[in-house]
Structure 1
Amino acid sequence: MNEVKLHDIGEGITEGEITHFHVSPGDSVKIDQPLVEVQTDKVTAELPSPVAGTVKEILASEGDVVTVGTTIILIEKEGSTTETPSNKETGENRPKQDSPKEKKEQSSNAVQTMTRLTRRVLAAPYTRKIARENQVDIEQVNGSGPGGRVTEEDVYQYMNGGQIQTDAESVSEEASTTPVPQAVHPKVEASEIPFKGRRKQIAQKMTQSLYTIPHVSHFDEVDLTNLLDLKKSLKDADPDGSKGMNVSLAAFFVKAIQLAMRDYPIFNAKLDEENEVIRLEGEVNMGLATDADDGLIVPVVKNVEQKSIATINREMKELIQKAKTNKLKPSDMKGGTFTISNVGPLGSTGATPIINHPEVGLMAFHKTKKMPVVINDEIVIRSIMNVSMTFDHRVADGATAVAFTNRFMHYIENPAAMTLELI
């Protein structure tokens, strides 16, 4: 009998939550066929079948949190036999006739399997878990997210009567027999959200960071006007004048931080307290704090110092898309040396973010707005963005953090200087 276990995928992961089974007892499976979906604090992964054979037993349930090494599924390898010696000796090798009860159970399993294969909506595992625990059929919930994706808010709204089934025949029939109801605000009932899985892991890591690192944040304003002009010119036309490049501001921010680290490498470091040494990193691996449906996740753009702004822009978009669709691999989140948080599009004017331990710094970008400023004794309108820089005061001091931020601002306010550094 072959055991399918939750194996160690690194990054300090010790447990995962079972979010969905792709098979049922009695199903035939092929090698590498996905069997079960498991969500850890960092990634959602599917465990494949190690052999071709038949699923004999499922030892856990959807929603269970299992530790690394736990056996989840038992599979009988194709070609093996479970006949007893007495069966072989007496020639009783005819197929066993299932009892009515067994046939009913197999039929039920087949229906469940088909339901899982044909009735899948776009929704994060955590959202599905909320629906299951509240006995909500997620297929009946209208998704408000991108591409019809069902969010946590959609599930809660459905639970509170805020969504109406969009079956055309029932709507037509009801419309002909009942008056149009007046809009009402459903009463919000008290409910509980399970505190486990990624949410629990985020809490543990944030608590570790906050109670380990003496955080200090300082705030500044950076003029984005020249950079916005450059971004627009890139979008308007490429070198042959036919199609432009849509480069995100965050890609420029990442490169500007990396260039500033040439003069202030202390912010691309890790503190080794046990050996009493601050280790300066040789590579700049930029973490991207990303708001996914089931919690904060930080994919990493590797070796920023070796990449152009265009390459950084492409890789950032790919990683963020994977993060929002739960397709990140463990390797996508390893090795970060500094983190950025771009919350400006959400409307933030300032914050004191928690550092992604064991890194020593995090820079957050907030709302940009046009405002009057004085340049050469004249009042002009410029696009000004708020910036917050949070750092580990064990490793760096305030004056160094301000100087580092000033160097970053120099590159952002003078994009030509940034491009010269790339030559």
Structure 2
Amino acid sequence: MPPGILTLADGLAEKATLSPANTGFMLICSALVMLMTPGLAFFYGGMVRVKSVLNMLMMSFISLGIVTLLWVLYGFGLAFGTDTGGIIGWSSDFAGLGHIGLTQLWGTTTIPVYVFAVFQLMFAVITPALISGALADRVKFTAWALFIALWVTVVYFPVAHWVWGDGGWLFKLGVIDFAGGTAVHINAGAAALGVILVVGRRIGFKKDPMRPHSLPLVMLGAGLLWFGWFGFNAGSWLNNDDGVAAVAFVNTQVATAAAMLGWLAYEKLRHGSFTTLGAASGAVAGLVAITPACGAVSPLGAIAIGVIAGVLCAMAVGLKYKFGYDDSLDVIGVHLVGGIVGSLLIGLFATGGVQSDAKGLFYGGGFGQLGKQTVGVVCVLLYSLVVSYVLAKAIDLVMGFRVGEDEEITGVDQAAHAETAYDFAGAGGGTTARRTTALGEAPTKKVDA
């Protein structure tokens, strides 16, 4: 939700009536954002080894269950209730979503509170799921589930209030985050680093090959993310009346395409090949980077942001080998770096003619907006990093965050879920062969495999 959506002229509040068109638009956008979590599961699931596929899928899917319930019970109230000191919100009417009128409007918008709540719920669901990619192959499922519950409570809900809540301190400062560069991507990327510092590296890191087991699955997941992201970004304006959502939609497509090409160009120059993994990762990097900026820049600015993010994120994924942290699926390289790039470049490329009149340096706005963006980036990064580390350390001390060595080598799928992703039990039982002759088909016979 972009800054300013709840601070329109007071006179509008008296005239606002429920809009069936905007309500339907936002329900569709909410469904699109929900689809992003299964898309993320496929994206991550294809990148891990066969023995961890189901666990990777479940680490995303479990967020749909846990975060949904916590959001209804108290999360929505903490993130978007009445402000207290710019730090946290609360409203007893939002607890359990039990005291909200069917047609009660959200602020000065023309959509019901229920619709806004479910839209924001989907953001809350996918954010902790993003963290899971950094921890592939080596964490206990129960520990991960507990971490999700604690993390959204003490990190995501407060940060969402800072950035998007009416009265949140970053909101009042004027930090622009259209759809989640700080609250979602920097937040998740910094948390991933904090947890990695606790759980350590996978067995065989930098020694054993850990290649993706299914690149088609990766491409499918990236495609679903790209599709769902239109709801993620365009829906964050909360209406479709003034063209801002359309600009956000266009910028999302443009930046994603530019980032994919930028990543592939860097990959070709650096490694000599255009890879499918690079194309998928570049697209996601572009989606991440344009998320905070899609309502502030022009399509040309979106191209610049996409190319810059594609190249810098491609460069950043290799840092784990230089510094020795095991970010399994490059959450830090893509989401943390991409979120930082997109958030800071608003301070350069904001035109002042889309969501607000805030201008970046290249459009005559000076360094003011860049300074605000820097404050938002640094504060969210440090808060999420430190608190995530503390939470992970506490869980590790109480119940252990990491699976045992034997379970890690055998595979987390069997240890945690008693299942395997692919059943090859019937593959070795022989095949039926047919020999074709000039007179027709010969009788079949059994050929042992």
TM range (shorter): under 0.3
TM-score (norm 2): 0.19
TM-score (norm 1): 0.20
Higher-strand-fraction structure: 1
